[in-house]
Structure 1
Amino acid sequence: MNNLDVSYYIFQDWKANRGNVKAQFVLTLFRLATWARSNKILIILFFWYLLFYRFFVEWVLGIELPWSLKAGSGLRLQHGQGLVVHGQTIIGKNCSIKHSTTIGIRINPDGSIGRAPIIGNNVDIGTHVCIIGEIEIGDNVAIGAGSIVIKSIPPNCVVVGNPARVVKVKEVTESIL
């Protein structure tokens, strides 16, 4: 990630989180930490910044967005408190994540560690959602509050429940955002 990429992502995140100063601040710190972590020389130069990011964002604010996370532009955090996202997760563009959400890996019965979820573009993740395992969530998906997602979700649908199930398939022209 170069300087132009960092500024592009920061501006897109600020635009997506207009009026939410906390999310703008956290995502700016996240994008800068991701950039600083992208090169060994930058890691050395920005070592104290990376420590500050881990302490302030994760411990003080309770938002676990590891700098190894791959997140597309326009990421929206609503409230953010209690948010835990595994560092190997891939999140597409224009996604929204609400508070008390966990996105992580699953340990398989044989003891091996699975892959983190891949989340498509324009996905709206409700509050208290748990997304676990080697699953893919398609584009334009809405996940209802309190849902437990343990299986892949096709694009253009609404899912709710424990375990999450499709309750509505949206027409392609209908927009979630």
Structure 2
Amino acid sequence: MGIYQFIIQDWEANSINTKGRIFSTFFRIANLPSGNILARIVLLPFRIFYKLIFEWILGIEIPHQVKIGAGLTVYHLPAIVIHRDVVIGKNCVLRQSTTIGNKTDNGACPVIGNNVNIGASVCILGDVVIGDNVVIGAGSVVVKSIPANSIVVGNPARIIKNTQIHQTPEPVI
């Protein structure tokens, strides 16, 4: 993937969300891979600008080191806090007042799958895995892993629906 494609990889997901498109563009520039020393030096002023504007002024704390797949959508920017060691898959939706990180100092961080829709004021904490195609309702506190194709709500979060397709085994003849 070229630099331009890397920077605009979230634009389609934010086609009607101007704030999300602006944030994702700045995040992707700050998130550009910097494997060599020259790239790190060139990106340093931009990363400082990103930290000042988005973290200190706008209150959206998503460090440039976070690994997030293409299609990130961020609605209502304030009060989003994500630990730098969190891994998020493709097509994730984040809303305001969401915290994703570790439970203890130097503890493990969540791994979030593809197509996960995270409601407002959600906390996802600790060494948990959120499967693909999960919806996490507003105000939920997730401290245990969630299987794919689930809808979870509550504090602590509990599965209210699992849309996993159950296939019946073939008869043995």
Same fold flag (TM > 0.5):
yes
The yes-or-no answer on 1:62 pairing with 2:59 is yes
For the aligned residue pairs, the C-alpha RMSD in angstroms reads 1.7
The question of whether the paired residues in 1 share the 8 Å contact of 2:73 and 2:93 is answered with yes
- 1:52 and 2:49 correspond: yes
Residue 13 of structure 1 pairs with residue 6 of structure 2: no
- Return the index of the structure with the highest Cα Rg: 2
- Using the aligned pairs only, state the percent identity: 47
Distance 1:143 1:9 in 2: 27
Shifted more, 9-18 versus 119-128: the winner is: 9-18
1:113 Cα offset (Å): 2.2
* Aligned residue runs from structure 1 range 9-88, under 5 A: 9-35=6-32, 37-88=34-85
Match of 2:144 among 151, 163, 175: 151
Secondary structure, counterpart of 2:12 in structure 1: helix
Q: Distance in 2 between matches of 1:104 and 1:142?
A: 18
Query: Residues of 1 paired with 2:159 and 2:92: CA distance?
Result: 19
User: Whole-Å Cα distance in 1 between the matches of residues 8 and 43 of structure 2?
Assistant: 21
Residue aligned with 2:8, SS: helix
Three-state SS of the structure 1 residue aligned to 2:94 is: strand
* In structure 2, distance between residues paired with 1:143 and 1:55: 30
What displacement does 1:12 show?
A: 3.0
Are residue 115 (structure 1) and residue 112 (structure 2) matched?
no
TM norm structure 1: 0.88
Q: Deviations over 1:70-125 (max 9, x none)?
A: 00000100112110011000000001011100001111xxxx62111000000000
Aligned with 1:106 (options 67, 85, 103): 103
Change (3 A) 1:114 1:171: same
In 2, Cα distance between equivalents of 1:129 and 1:78 = 13
- How many residues align? The count is 166
Counterpart of 1:97 in structure 2 is 94
TM-score by length of 2: 0.90
CA distance in 2, matches of 1:36, 1:168: 38
- Structure 1 pair 38–79 and aligned structure 2 pair: CA distance change class (3 A): farther
The answer as to whether partners of 2:19 and 2:75 remain within 8 angstroms in 1 is: no
